Amino acid sequence: MLTQKPSYTESDLETVLVSKEEIRQRVLELGKQLSEHYEGKDVTIVSILSGALVFTADLIRSCDFATRLDCLRAESYGNATSAQNPPRITNPLKTDITGHHVLVVDDILDSGNTLKAIIAHLQGFSPASLKSCVLLDKPARHEKSFSADFCGFTIPDKFVVGYGLDFAERYRNLACIGVLKKELQDSASHV
Ligand code: IMP
Ligand code: MG
């Protein structure tokens, strides 16, 4: 029985895991790290929709090298908090990445299934190089031996929302990253 009605704002969070300021600082650091790694190179950034949208928007503005931006959509989750099917890539790239440096940007490395499938898909286009950057990593949940080349924060095994991450398409607009109150997470009434 749901005692609290969701407001779809920060007040639905039980805890804030990463604050707005911590995100801002870390995104700047990642931008610096990427700028050193890709100095003088032209890089196609492939953002995985919709979760990586907010992170990508901030990250590319702290990157000091030539970029092109493209997006892929991979669907592995319905409105639930765990994977149901193997990920499906549901929209193709618009840019030709053959012989180009490619950086895949995703919101979170959870089981690793999505990023692993995307990397395998992109490898098929023979890019000059292919690296990945995730905002969050949940090592306790990895199913496959896969790690991201660049990572913002390592977090515990909790379902998180905010800064692009959703629960049933809600909460993507929160400026921080946090864990929903349990009764709101368990409830299907607002999915
Ligand atoms: P994976 O394939 O299990 O690594 O899951 C990848 C995708 O699942 C991410 O890109 C997210 O869209 C979603 N996801 C995984 N964990 C969370 C979470 O804690 N909150 C919100 N979305 C998540
Ligand atoms: Mg999602």
CATH numbers and ranges of domains, the chain: 21-158 (3.40.50.2020)
Proportion of the chain above pLDDT 90, given as a percent:
76
Q: Which ligand neighbours the alpha carbon of 135 most closely?
A: 1
What pLDDT was estimated at residue 163?
A: 98
Other C-beta atoms within 10 Å of 52: how many? 25
Has residue 107 got a pLDDT over 60?
A: yes
Q: Nearest residue CA, atom 3 of ligand 1?
A: 111
Say if ligand 1 is within 6 A of residue 105 CB.
no
What pLDDT was estimated at residue 2?
A: 57
Is 110 assigned a catalytic role?
yes
Q: Which of 110, 149, 166, 186 is catalytic?
A: 110
What pLDDT was estimated at residue 191?
A: 42
Residues with CB under 5 A from ligand 2 (ion): 51, 166
What pLDDT was estimated at residue 78?
A: 54
DSSP 25-42: HHHHHHHHHHHHHTTT-E
DSSP state of 5: -
